Amino acid sequence: MLEGIVERAKATINDGTDLALVVAGSGGAGALAGVVKSWLPEQTKDMGDETIAAIAGGLIWYFGDRLHERLVPFGFGVLLEGIGSWSEEWVSGIIDMLAKKEA
């Protein structure tokens, strides 16, 4: 399963436009989560924005080409931002251990 995800990720960025769409998706993840919450308030009331963004981004990344091929890199960016935000607390804790200690 992981191999399929890695291969799909490798195939997502093929040119500068794709890269720009990944960046745009990352920047728009919070707004997209807000849109999803506005349309599905009952289904998303107990979910964090990062979870909603990761799910929406994953769906757009996986199925977006059925609407337009350029949705795929945008969805990938949203997915990465959602997963990054979700993991921020524990990753930041690990990185903070490297900070210089005051004497």
For residue range 8-64, what is the model confidence (pLDDT) as tens digits? 999 999 999 999 999 999 999 999 999 999 999 999 999 999 999 999 999 999 999
Q: Give the number of other Cβ atoms within 10 Å of residue 61's Cβ.
A: 25
- pLDDT for position 13: 96
3-state secondary structure the chain: CHHHHHHHHHCCCCCHHHHHHHHHHHHCHHHHHHHHHHHCHHHHCCCCHHHHHHHHHHHHHHHHHHCCCCHHHHHHHHHHHHHHHHHHHHHHHHHHCCCCCCC
For residue range 62-86, what is the model confidence (pLDDT) as tens digits? 999 999 999 999 999 999 999 999 9
